[in-house]
Structure 1
Amino acid sequence: MNWIFVGASTIAAQYMLSAVRSQAGHKVSWVVSGSMDRGAAWARDHGVPSVTTDLAEALADSDATIAYISTTNEKHFGQAMACIAAGKHVLCEKPLAITLGEACRMVAAARDAGVVFGTNHHLRCSGAHRAIKEVIAKGQIGKVLSLRIHHAVYLPENLQGWRINDAAAGGGVVPDITVHNADVARFLLNEDPQSVVAQVTSSGMGEGVEDSAMSVWMMPSGTMVMSHESFTHEFAGNGLEVHGESGSIFANNVMTQEPIGTVELVTGSGRQQIPFPQHSLYERGVSDFVTAVEGQGRAAADGVDGVKSLAVALAVREAAQSGKRITVNYGEVS
């Protein structure tokens, strides 16, 4: 299968290009960029044969059947809708869109067109996260009481730009990282947050957008989730903790793009290291997506998953702005 990369992005270069090429018979045949100079340099550096600034030109290629979108957030909706209308399967970066309504329309359009639509939530493809999910599912920590996610990092200078200074492009730590934490919580606990309380701040890096956030989410089961995300914590590390009635899971350095970290189970019997496969998160995500395109499975995170992670993030931002508990609105998805 031939892929169209919509966006000559850093993530496309560092992770997605090799992930696609690791699939037998798959190649990237087009890159679409807002700048011909940038796109041409990206294509040359990465061995992609065709480059354009006109998405319609790439979509007219009948040999290209999958589009991967990694542009700035405000462009996702229009580009995804164009790809769907052209009959392409779409794997889109998170957040799917700026608004919940747009995200729901993207999912509905893909369903009506009969194409596979996925959200590139890489963390649920991690061997560590899948191992944690299995420990919970086996009942090894009993009923889950709380989940704490610590995803406070230092945003590298080469990734700052619009993420820290352009609200219209979807900048801010909430659409960038809170959506990840929402997807992790949904993936591990198999339920959707009902309501949230939150606070956000701009502590120096953010220019017109928040650069740090803390929030607490209530789950239908009564489980509480605490989520902390930031662009400004250079030495904080990252990880998550799951606490149950009969045990706890401590996972360190697992909220990353790399297959690293440690997972430890603590119960009355003592401490136990939980092994996990250290495969590429992006290769696994692309593999699952390709399997779905072939009609033999589902994407690791589908469009509904993307809508729901966006809905939680939007609720967090609204809760912080209003100072009130906000009930999460998931729109017209189930």
Structure 2
Amino acid sequence: MLRWGLIGASRIASSYMIEAMRAQEGADVLSVLSTDVARGARFADENGIADSYTDLDALLADDRVNAVYISTTNEKHHAQALAAIAAGKNVLCEKPLAMSLADACEMVKAAADKGITFATNHHLRNAGTHLAIKDLISNGRIGDVLSARVFHAVNLPEHLRGWRINDASAGGGVIPDITVHDADTIRFHLDEDPVDVVAKSGTSGMGEGVEDSVMSVWSMPSGAMVQTHESFTHGFAGTGIEFHGTRGSIFAQGVMTQEPVGTIRLVDSNGETAVSYENHNLYKRSLGVFTQAVAGTGRPSADGVDGIKSLAVALAVREAARSGRQTTVDYGGF
């Protein structure tokens, strides 16, 4: 039975995570941390949470809390996760895990040394659409994968902008916000990690000191190539992912989302087939898998190492865009 403390009074917590936590048998959310007293109290009242704190140590001192969910701005994740780990709490941390690869590695190693469950909140792995796509690839329906394409250029809603478009010190920019998700999704589907990347980033109308658009190409160990496009400024592009193999292709549209929606088409020598999938709640599935992992059954859908590796790809994309050179992905020894 997980008793959660929320580190961050965030929109994703109120919109998705609290419901998913409480959907697990015997689970509840006991407390929330916010640096703003009034905001924390209001968040707690609106979400039926008993305790609101401005001091992290006070939240972690509650022995009833045995798991925390970290959804603060990116630069805070490292210190908050280490404090929670030291207090013996299981940790589910938003992506990206940290601002640097070294910090992310330290978090994951600390959790392993403490013997607690540590996971990264990469939600797309839990979508029925992506589980169906992975099954198609794993079962050889498209043969050997030759290439993949991710199109994840969206219009960032105004209420989500703020630090994401104007504060590099907080981890703003489309690369840590969206590219890191696409890295995890590609890794999930292909069961391999990009070797090197080339990229170009820029601003197309929203970024204020950070990139709001990026395109990149990744080389995979198998020889497959991956093309990605992420942006905050594309209101009508739609999202999706494609995989092209020696025996067929998968076209998935509208699937790079927090909702259980979208379409999947399989095209091969037999023609075109619509692919069905389960339309369950992504976050409820993720929290269910996390709960089982805490209980000693299996692993989280995206664990700490997944968080490290997906961050590593995003960092390589940023460096390649900055330098104009092909950049080898450094996974920090993982």
TM-score between both structures, scaled by the size of structure 1:
0.99
Task: Give the match for residue 66 of structure 1.
Answer: 67
SS at match of 1:225: strand
1:48-101 deviation line (CA, Å, top 9, x unaligned): 000000011110111110000000000000000000000000000000000000
Map 1:32-51 onto structure 2 (within 5 A): 32-51=33-52
Structure 1 CA distance for aligned equivalents of residues 290 and 231 of structure 2: 29
SS at match of 1:292: helix
Task: Give the match for residue 180 of structure 1.
Answer: 181
Q: What displacement does 1:204 show?
A: 1.6
Task: Give the match for residue 262 of structure 1.
Answer: 263
Task: Give the match for residue 281 of structure 1.
Answer: 282
Task: Give the match for residue 109 of structure 2.
Answer: 108
Q: What displacement does 1:215 show?
A: 0.1
TM-score between both structures, scaled by the size of structure 2:
0.99
In structure 2, stretches of 5+ residues that fail to align are none
SS at match of 2:150: strand
Task: Give the match for residue 328 of structure 1.
Answer: 329
Task: Give the match for residue 248 of structure 1.
Answer: 249
Structure 2 CA distance for aligned equivalents of residues 99 and 37 of structure 1: 32
SS at match of 1:149: strand
Q: What displacement does 1:293 show?
A: 0.2
Q: What displacement does 1:332 show?
A: 2.6
Structure 2 CA distance for aligned equivalents of residues 206 and 282 of structure 1: 29
Structure 1 CA distance for aligned equivalents of residues 27 and 37 of structure 2: 25
1:210-245 deviation line (CA, Å, top 9, x unaligned): 000000000000000001100000111000110001
Structure 2 CA distance for aligned equivalents of residues 139 and 110 of structure 1: 36
Q: Which amino acid counterpart does residue 159 of structure 2 have in structure 1?
A: N
Task: Give the match for residue 32 of structure 2.
Answer: 31
Task: Give the match for residue 237 of structure 2.
Answer: 236
Task: Give the match for residue 303 of structure 1.
Answer: 304
Runs of 4+ off more than 6 Å:
none
Task: Give the match for residue 11 of structure 2.
Answer: 10
Q: Which amino acid counterpart does residue 296 of structure 1 have in structure 2?
A: T
Structure 1 CA distance for aligned equivalents of residues 299 and 170 of structure 2: 30
Task: Give the match for residue 218 of structure 1.
Answer: 219
Task: Give the match for residue 292 of structure 1.
Answer: 293
Task: Give the match for residue 126 of structure 1.
Answer: 127
Task: Give the match for residue 90 of structure 1.
Answer: 91
Q: Which amino acid counterpart does residue 35 of structure 1 have in structure 2?
A: D
In structure 1, stretches of 5+ residues that fail to align are none
Structure 1 CA distance for aligned equivalents of residues 144 and 205 of structure 2: 40
Task: Give the match for residue 163 of structure 1.
Answer: 164
Map 1:193-212 onto structure 2 (within 5 A): 193-212=194-213
Percent identity of paired positions between Structure 1 and Structure 2: 60
Q: Does 1:80 align with 2:81?
A: yes
Structure 2 CA distance for aligned equivalents of residues 264 and 217 of structure 1: 24
Structure 2 CA distance for aligned equivalents of residues 85 and 15 of structure 1: 27
Number of equivalent positions = 333
Structure 2 CA distance for aligned equivalents of residues 171 and 156 of structure 1: 15
Q: Which amino acid counterpart does residue 21 of structure 1 have in structure 2?
A: R
Structure 2 CA distance for aligned equivalents of residues 288 and 200 of structure 1: 35
Structure 2 CA distance for aligned equivalents of residues 34 and 133 of structure 1: 40
RMSD: 0.5
Q: Which amino acid counterpart does residue 162 of structure 2 have in structure 1?
A: G
Q: Which amino acid counterpart does residue 228 of structure 1 have in structure 2?
A: H
Structure 2 CA distance for aligned equivalents of residues 264 and 193 of structure 1: 25
1:182-219 deviation line (CA, Å, top 9, x unaligned): 00000000000000000000112000000000000000
Structure 1 CA distance for aligned equivalents of residues 218 and 43 of structure 2: 41
Q: Which amino acid counterpart does residue 45 of structure 2 have in structure 1?
A: R
